Amino acid sequence: MSQDDTTGQIRQKLVDTKEKLAKAGHLLTGGGGKDRLPPGQREVKNWPVLDLGIQPEIPLESWELTVDGLVENPVTWNWAQFQAQPQQQFLTDIHCVTAWSRYDNHWDGVSARHLLSVVKPKPDARHIVFHSHDGYTTNVKLEVFNDEDVLLAHSWEGKPITTEHGGPVRVIIPKYYFWKSAKWVKRIEFVAEDQPGFWEERGYHNEGDPWTEQRYS
Ligand SMILES: Nc1nc2c(c(=O)[nH]1)N[C@H]1C(S)=C(S)[C@@H](COP(=O)(O)O)O[C@H]1N2
Ligand SMILES: [Mo]
């Protein structure tokens, strides 16, 4: 192999790596020239656990996710069916309303965009309610869920998401405070009228954009 060919190969590797990084960076919350840390937040390296005092254990054999309401094609997936959906990797930051942010979380799971392509929301579907095994609920507009960085995650940093962090499957909505990211999700319901969830009924903001500090209502 000539010197030139070898250099060419090395360069291509560099380009590939940078392309991957650029693609990942494109999915980062707060990318596109903004500061990375939203106002009033501080960066943490650990991953705090927040819940209502219940951490439901759901064996994979009995795990199910139902997606229903105002959709053309409601589905209930068991674990094998969920795993059979196209799997994608995501790299996102977490911003919790209790003022911690955690950068560069690697997730594996099924994209919201894929889920939407399967269930096909009806025209009158405007809002989504997430229902979890601990009785927790949270709400977002359909347009917030319908984003390229939103997913149903089963793995974090290459390992199954632990029970305390919402495994087997939790929602990840990176552009909003983390209370919108339902742990132990069991049902995703499409509705016409907005239905405030657990924290939204208890003084949290109905939206939750960290960049404009939509913390409390
Ligand atoms: N099912 C469920 N999901 C939930 C919660 C909860 O109590 N139950 N807490 C929310 C809040 S307030 C936060 S900050 C994050 C915490 O996720 P973590 O424990 O993995 O950091 O989960 C959100 N999703
Ligand atoms: Mo939170």
Q: What is the pLDDT of residues 31-66, one digit of tens each?
A: 444 689 999 999 999 999 999 999 999 999 999 999
Residue of 41, 102, 164, 178 with the most ligand 1 atoms within 8 Å of its CB, for mutation: 178
Q: What is the pLDDT of residues 123-144, one digit of tens each?
A: 999 999 999 999 999 999 999 9
- Ligand number nearest CA of 132 is 1
Domain contains 170? yes
Domain contains 22? yes
Domain count, the chain: 1
Parent domain of 59: 3-212
Residues lining ligand 1, Cβ inside 6 A: 47-52, 96, 132, 134, 136, 165-166, 178-179, 181-184
Domain contains 79? yes
178 CA from centroid of ligand 2 (Å): 6
Domain contains 156? yes
CA 191 and chain centroid, separation: 20
Q: How many C-beta neighbours within 10 Å does residue 56 have? A: 15
Supply the DSSP string of 133-170, one letter for each residue.
Answer: TTS-EEEEEHHHHSSTT-EEEEEETTEEPPGGGT-S-E
Domain contains 217? no
Q: What is the pLDDT of residues 145-191, one digit of tens each?
A: 999 999 999 999 999 999 999 999 999 999 999 999 999 999 999 99
> How many CA atoms lie less than 13 Å away from 112 in the CB half-sphere?
24
Question: Quick check: pTM over 0.85?
Answer: yes
Domain contains 66? yes
Kindly report the CATH number assigned to the domain that includes residue 54. Answer: 3.90.420.10
Residue 201 has pLDDT above 70, yes or no: yes
Domain contains 119? yes
Q: List C-alpha distances in Å: 97 to 123, 163, 177.
A: 32, 21, 6
Domain contains 80? yes
183 CA from centroid of ligand 1 (Å): 6
Residue of 41, 47, 49, 50 with the most ligand 1 atoms within 8 Å of its CB, for mutation: 50
- The sign of the torsion formed by the CA atoms of 57, 59, 62, 68 equals positive
